[in-house]
Structure 1
Amino acid sequence: MKLLRHLFAFYINSSIHVALAVVALTFITVLEYGITISTQLLMFIFFGAITGYNFVKYAKIAGLHHRHLAHSLKAIQIFSAICFLILLFAAFHLPLKLLLIAGCFGVPTFFYAVPLIRHKNLRSLTGIKIFIVAFVWGGITVIVPITAAGADISGDVLLTFFQRMTIVVALMIPFEIRDVPYDALNLKTLPQQIGVWGTKMLGEGILLICLVFEFLKENTDLAYLSSLFVFSVILGGLLIISKPYQSRYFASFWIEGTPILWWILYVLLKNTQVLG
């Protein structure tokens, strides 16, 4: 049992879970637009998510305590290094144009942890952290696979991109609420500015906007709309019960796992639709 707890903690702390969520959102785009993408691109997205997240989370800690790292953090460092090598291997098999587009969304991730101006990184800039993450996730899970498939960036695709950004903002809100007791006041996060309840209501409004975006598209997939609605209801319910002092894995497992649930639900509804 102790071994299972350690493995589960490593699964969460090494960002495998969040990387699977990113891949799930990518699969949703693939299914929605009926496109095909390569295994190398999926590898690039999955291992890129692990590398990026672990760099942001642990770079500063490793720099400060390099000689005194806990065994778990050392294991994550080694794992991240292996993931980075696989990322390079996958990138070698992708077109330069696609890598440049992916790079446009990857650069904010780098400067999220590394100082950009006046010894400040993007994380420290007032109130924009949540939107940077949304922009990166939206681009990697919508624009990159659409471009890789050679499809046009149509109005519907742009609506999906903005829709995906709103979803990621809503996904980030429980983390913002969780971090209220620990965030410095100068960060001016959403809960610090409009309160916990106000932030929850903003999240519910964002999910509503996400649903409205779907009705603005020229082509709407009923299975996608239905799965999106159920996903939004579930995430909206989790937003309501979010609180500053959460159970250990409420945000990092349950909230981050909702895109995986959405993808599974979409696949089931899509298959039912085809069989019907």
Structure 2
Amino acid sequence: MSLFAFFGTIAGYNFVKYDALARTGKREPSFRVKAIAVLSFFSVLAAGYCFFQLENITKIISTAFLGLTVLYTLPFFPNRKNARNSAGIKIYIVSVCWVGVTVVLPVLNADPQLQQLFTSDFYLKLVQRFLLIFVLVLIFEIIDLSKDDPHLQTVPQQIGMKRTKILGLILLIAFYFLEFLKIKFDANQVLVNIALVIAVATFLIFANEKDRNTTLHFG
């Protein structure tokens, strides 16, 4: 399951990132792009092999998340926008896909009888992971604020950078305290969450739309 998620993430991310470039074919791909294409090809093969080792229920649900990833990149109807470029929806699709791959699929594969799916701890973990990924995407939306099309209606575009940071900090606090509601309370996990919240909050607070330009300059 871990290998399936690892190789599937490489292939899926590269598909989302380079699909438009591959389809337009306006210029000869660079060596870097070709190398990424080769890496993606072998990642697809590895993910496919791992896929057939999974439980049947995991295969079904993972196919659904694959479909969501494809719809995120390719338009469902001809001459229409894909989900990625639809107003305000990008951050939710990304968060749902990450929750599915990192929480739902591992639990399903480890427990095909679905017993863990009916526990409160499972749903608390779903909410926690969604909040965490949501905040992480907020950081990238702040960095891309000057680059994103205004029609995307990202969170910073709708409520501004300052309010986006406040929202992110509130969500991180909720993420942390949800741990105390779990039946199987784990003190070690609480310590891990503290470190995680501090790290993510630091990146969120200091995130700036100029960071993207700095990265490109030194990259």
Q: TM-score, normalised by structure 1?
A: 0.73
Q: Are 1:53 and 2:53 an aligned pair?
A: no
Residue in 1 aligned with 2:96? Answer: 135
Query: Displacement of 1:238 after TM fit?
Result: 1.2
Q: Are 1:96 and 2:56 an aligned pair?
A: yes
Higher mean displacement: 101-110 or 50-59:
101-110
Secondary structure class of the residue paired with 1:68: coil
Higher mean displacement: 102-111 or 130-139:
102-111
Residue in 2 aligned with 1:147? Answer: 108
Amino acid at match of 1:152: Q
Q: Could you tell me how far apart the structure 2 residues matched to 1:43 and 1:227 are?
A: 23
User: Which 4+ runs in 1 deviate beyond 6 A?
Assistant: none
Please say if residues 172 and 201 of structure 2, whose CA atoms lie closer than 8 Å, have aligned partners that are also in contact: yes
- % of aligned pairs identical? 33
Q: Could you tell me how far apart the structure 2 residues matched to 1:65 and 1:72 are?
A: 15
Q: Are 1:218 and 2:188 an aligned pair?
A: no
Map 1:193-272; keep pairs closer than 5 Å.
193-246=158-211, 247-248=214-215
Secondary structure class of the residue paired with 1:244: coil
Q: Deviations over 1:93-137 (max 9, x none)?
A: 222221111222222211110101452211122112111111111
Residue in 1 aligned with 2:142? Answer: 177
Secondary structure class of the residue paired with 2:145: coil
Residue in 2 aligned with 1:33? Answer: none
Q: Could you tell me how far apart the structure 2 residues matched to 1:139 and 1:79 are?
A: 24
Q: Deviations over 1:202-243 (max 9, x none)?
A: 110110111122122122100001110121012111100000
Residue in 2 aligned with 1:126? Answer: 87
Contiguous gaps of at least 5 residues in structure 1: 1-40, 250-276
Q: Could you tell me how far apart the structure 2 residues matched to 1:67 and 1:240 are?
A: 39
How many residues end up aligned between the 2 structures?
Answer: 209
Residue in 2 aligned with 1:83? Answer: 43
Please say if residues 57 and 109 of structure 2, whose CA atoms lie closer than 8 Å, have aligned partners that are also in contact: no
Q: Could you tell me how far apart the structure 1 residues matched to 2:184 and 2:50 are?
A: 33
Contiguous gaps of at least 5 residues in structure 2: none
Secondary structure class of the residue paired with 1:248: helix
Q: Could you tell me how far apart the structure 2 residues matched to 1:190 and 1:77 are?
A: 32
Residue in 2 aligned with 1:167? Answer: 132
Please say if residues 108 and 122 of structure 1, whose CA atoms lie closer than 8 Å, have aligned partners that are also in contact: no
Please say if residues 177 and 242 of structure 1, whose CA atoms lie closer than 8 Å, have aligned partners that are also in contact: yes
Query: Displacement of 1:67 after TM fit?
Result: 5.5
Amino acid at match of 1:133: V
Residue in 2 aligned with 1:69? Answer: 29
Amino acid at match of 2:159: I
Q: TM-score, normalised by structure 2?
A: 0.91
User: Structure with the greater relative contact order (CA < 8 A, sep ≥ 6): 1 or 2?
Assistant: 1
Q: Could you tell me how far apart the structure 1 residues matched to 2:188 and 2:36 are?
A: 38
